[in-house]
């Protein structure tokens, strides 16, 4: 069956540009998560949705980062005025249940963002 998909897989942006990263979760999954993974580190939590509601955005590093899931399915992570320190892999995960972090999460392959 179809897993979590993310697009684009690779994105190169010039410093100061805005980027939008897309996540298509597994159909019917209630919960959706975004993570940031710097080179050589484990993923770090950014934000969490249950359906269309953003229940936790405590991990977003600055107000340049914005996430939405308007219809409770596809989600977009937007980064405004990108900086070099935003270079990382951005991972999306979905889970069939909520509201809770305590369920198996299914991860997409990630989008590798490079800011030059």
Q: Which residues bind another protein (CB under 8 A)?
A: 4, 33, 41-45, 48, 56, 58-59, 91, 93, 100-102, 104-110
Place of tokens 């107000």: 63
Place of tokens 């305590």: 102
Question: At its nearest, how many Å lie between another protein and the CB of residue 41?
Answer: 7
Question: At its nearest, how many Å lie between another protein and the CB of residue 105?
Answer: 6
Are the C-beta atoms of residues 108 and 4 closer than 8 Å to each other? yes
Decide whether 21 or 93 has the Cβ nearer to another protein.
Answer: 93
Decide whether 52 or 103 has the Cβ nearer to another protein.
Answer: 103
Question: At its nearest, how many Å lie between another protein and the CB of residue 11?
Answer: 15
Q: Which residues contact 98 (CB under 8 A, 6 or more apart)?
A: 30, 31, 50, 51
Cα distance between residue 83 and residue 95, in whole Å: 30
């Amino acid at each position: 069956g179809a897993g979590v998909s993310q697009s684009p897989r690779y994105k190169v942006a010039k410093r100061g540009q805005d980027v939008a990263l897309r996540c298509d979760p597994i159909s019917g999954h209630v919960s959706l998560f975004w993570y940031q993974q710097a080179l050589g580190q484990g993923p770090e939590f950014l934000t969490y949705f249950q359906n269309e509601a953003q229940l936790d955005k405590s991990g977003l590093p600055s107000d340049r980062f914005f996430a939405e899931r308007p219809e409770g399915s596809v989600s977009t992570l937007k980064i405004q005025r990108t900086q070099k320190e935003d270079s990382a892999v951005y991972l999306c995960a979905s889970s069939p249940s909520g509201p809770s972090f305590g369920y198996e999460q299914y991860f997409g392959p990630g989008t590798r963002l490079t800011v030059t």
